């Protein structure tokens, strides 16, 4: 599409390129959850691109477009669906950051913002804050992505902190050396995931480094427009993660795709090359393990289990990991993987979404659960805490007892004794 985007924003070239590549063909509409629900053009990827274009061209006040941009789940289903190679994510992330900078925040928001910036990215502080009840639900509406949905589930009692060693040695012959990112919120709310991931890696001959100084991926800071601070926390990770690891592993979909965007975040910075090198080594847990190959065949389950693998948008669409987790699961004896209808549709967990757009989010999880139930599974597996939380919530609401687990936990469970 032709455009007249003139902006001196650092990300303007990427935004303009996305608009330029869009030929308005509509192929992406079929993949978009909000379009499927609402059937209105401004709630489709094509419509949103057009709206953002018009705002960037100063033909339309940003406030008018805002509701439709806010309704975007950021699920990236439109990206693989686009034959023309439009990097919708580049446009959306750049656009949101730009709007954030220009948005006047009311004073209360400023306070909440401070709390977020100084708490969430630091697991220890976060844990304390969560325990002291400071992170009340008041914070939720300003939080992005997986964070909010996890916080909205803040249990009355937090699971006990389970510090991990700085290094977990490889068992048997060493086949790899990696750094494991523990994430911020996940570490506090579901420490068992990182524990399982570290153990599975070690059992498969991988030396796992988990430096204590590591921070979060910074995407939460980016979301609230704190770019500089996001870069600082990223730099902290560059500093503490050994230079000679084969890979930097994440167990949450959003962190992975967030860190893969470091290249854009560090554009024009002195340490841009370092950021790029770092982000190129980031890989999701299941993708790394599938590439490495499981060393021993898993013992598997004692009796047949039907398992549904729930694709996290940020693994499937943003990082193209469709086959890897399935290959791992298929290797487990007595596990029968069953596919569901519309596997690529978001479950609605995209963070604040539950709070900002309760109806859409509820309808998306309702649909997702319906397609899962139609497959009659005994267990649901996912690679992302956001989805896991969302599904558990919806199952509970419907009084279902279907278990939901992270793929690392399932692999650990199925490992040979």
User: Binding-site residue total for other proteins (CB under 8 A)?
Assistant: 32
**Beta strand residue intervals within 285-343, DSSP E:** 305-310, 335-337
Binding-site member from 5, 15, 29, 289 for other proteins (CB under 8 A):
29
* 75 contributes a contact to ligand SF4 by CB under 6 A: yes
Binding-site member from 5, 55, 56, 86 for ligand SF4 (CB under 6 A):
86
* 82 contributes a contact to ligand SF4 by CB under 6 A: yes
* 342 contributes a contact to other proteins by CB under 8 A: no
* 194 contributes a contact to other proteins by CB under 8 A: no
Helix (H, G, I), strand (E, B) or coil at 180: strand
Beta carbons of 245 and 281 less than 8 angstroms apart: yes
| Side-chain half-sphere CA neighbours of 205 within 13 A | 11
Q: How far apart are CA 351 and CA 87, in angstroms?
A: 22
* 39 contributes a contact to other proteins by CB under 8 A: yes
Q: Which of 45, 251, 250 is nearest to 262 (CA)?
A: 250
- Nearest distance, CB of residue 15 and ligand SF4, angstroms: 13
Binding-site member from 41, 192, 246, 356 for other proteins (CB under 8 A):
41
* 30 contributes a contact to other proteins by CB under 8 A: yes
Q: How far apart are CA 393 and CA 396, in angstroms?
A: 5
Q: Are strands 379-382 and 282-284 parallel, antiparallel or unpaired?
A: unpaired
Cβ closest to ligand SF4, residue 146 vs residue 200: 146
DSSP character for 177? E
Question: Using CB under 8 A, which of the segments 35-43, 188-196, 359-367, 392-400 binds other proteins?
Answer: 35-43
Binding-site member from 27, 60, 292, 370 for ligand SF4 (CB under 6 A):
27
Question: Using CB under 6 A, which of the segments 18-26, 130-138, 283-291, 319-327 binds ligand SF4?
Answer: 18-26
- Nearest distance, CB of residue 307 and other proteins, angstroms: 23
Q: Are strands 247-250 and 176-180 parallel, antiparallel or unpaired?
A: parallel
Binding-site member from 47, 123, 183, 191 for other proteins (CB under 8 A):
47
Beta carbons of 153 and 393 less than 8 angstroms apart: yes
Helix (H, G, I), strand (E, B) or coil at 305: strand
DSSP for 248-259 reads EEESSHHHHHHH
Q: Return phi, psi of residue 348, to 5°.
A: 95, 5
Q: Which of 103, 19, 100, 101 is nearest to 59 (CA)?
A: 19
Residue span 56-75 as binding mask against other proteins, x where in contact by CB under 8 A, dash where not: ----x---xx-xx-------
* 48 contributes a contact to ligand SF4 by CB under 6 A: yes
Tokens found for residue 88: 């919708």
Question: Using CB under 6 A, which of the segments 17-25, 222-230, 303-311, 356-364 binds ligand SF4?
Answer: 17-25
Binding-site member from 52, 62, 88, 250 for ligand SF4 (CB under 6 A):
88
Question: Residue 346: which region, alpha, beta or left (left: phi > 0; alpha: psi -120 to 50)?
Answer: beta
**Which of other proteins, ligand SF4, none binds 75 (CB below 5-8 Å, type-dependent)?**
ligand SF4
Beta carbons of 155 and 392 less than 8 angstroms apart: no
* 26 contributes a contact to ligand SF4 by CB under 6 A: yes
Beta carbons of 336 and 407 less than 8 angstroms apart: no
Tokens found for residue 1: 């599409």
**Which of other proteins, ligand SF4, none binds 262 (CB below 5-8 Å, type-dependent)?**
none
Helix (H, G, I), strand (E, B) or coil at 34: helix
- Nearest distance, CB of residue 29 and ligand SF4, angstroms: 7
Binding-site member from 59, 84, 304, 323 for ligand SF4 (CB under 6 A):
84
Residue where the block lists tokens 């279907």: 402
**Which of ligand SF4, other proteins, none binds 58 (CB below 5-8 Å, type-dependent)?**
none
Beta carbons of 140 and 352 less than 8 angstroms apart: yes
* 86 contributes a contact to other proteins by CB under 8 A: yes
- Residues within the interface to ligand SF4 (CB under 6 A): 22-28, 31-34, 45-46, 48-49, 72-78, 82, 84, 86, 88
- Residues within the interface to other proteins (CB under 8 A): 1-2, 20-27, 29-30, 39-42, 44, 46-47, 50-51, 54, 60, 64-65, 67-68, 82-86
């Amino acid at each position: 599409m032709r455009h007249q985007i003139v902006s001196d924003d650092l990300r303007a070239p990427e935004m303009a390129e996305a608009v330029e590549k869009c030929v308005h063909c509509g192929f992406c509409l079929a993949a978009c959850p909000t379009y499927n629900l609402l059937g209105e053009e401004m709630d489709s990827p094509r419509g949103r691109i057009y709206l953002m274009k018009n705002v960037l061209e100063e033909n339309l006040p940003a406030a008018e477009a805002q509701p439709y941009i806010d309704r975007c789940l950021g699920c990236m289903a439109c990206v693989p669906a686009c034959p023309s190679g439009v990097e919708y994510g580049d446009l959306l992330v750049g656009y949101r950051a730009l709007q954030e900078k220009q948005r006047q925040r009311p004073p209360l928001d400023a306070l909440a913002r401070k709390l977020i910036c100084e708490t969430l990215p630091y697991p220890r502080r976060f844990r304390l804050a969560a325990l002291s009840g400071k992170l009340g639900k008041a914070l939720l509406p300003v939080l992005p992505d997986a964070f909010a949905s996890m916080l909205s589930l803040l249990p009355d009692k937090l699971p006990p902190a389970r510090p991990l060693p700085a290094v977990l040695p490889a068992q048997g012959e060493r086949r790899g050396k990696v750094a494991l990112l523990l994430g911020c919120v996940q570490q506090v709310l579901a420490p068992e995931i990182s524990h399982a991931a570290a153990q599975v890696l070690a059992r498969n001959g991988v030396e796992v480094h988990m430096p204590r100084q590591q921070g979060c991926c910074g995407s939460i800071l980016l979301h609230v427009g704190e770019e500089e601070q996001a870069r600082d926390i990223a730099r902290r990770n560059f500093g503490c993660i050994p230079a000679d690891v084969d890979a930097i592993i994440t167990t949450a979909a959003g962190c992975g795709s967030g860190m893969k965007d470091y290249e854009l975040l560090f554009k024009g910075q002195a340490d841009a090359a370092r950021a790029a090198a770092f982000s190129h080594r980031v890989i999701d847990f299941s993708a790394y393990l599938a590439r490495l190959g499981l060393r021993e065949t898993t013992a598997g389950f004692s009796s047949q289990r039907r398992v549904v693998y729930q694709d996290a948008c940020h693994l499937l669409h943003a990082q193209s990991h469709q086959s890897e987790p399935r290959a791992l699961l298929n290797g487990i004896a007595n596990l029968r993987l069953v596919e569901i209808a519309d596997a690529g549709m978001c479950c609605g967990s995209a963070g604040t979404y539950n709070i900002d757009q309760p109806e859409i989010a509820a309808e998306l999880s309702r649909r997702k659960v319906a397609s899962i139930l139609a497959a009659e599974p005994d267990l649901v597996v996912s690679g992302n805490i956001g989805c896991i939380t969302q599904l558990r919530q919806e199952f509970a609401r419907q009084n279902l007892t279907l278990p939901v687990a992270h793929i690392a936990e399932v692999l650990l469970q199925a490992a040979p004794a």
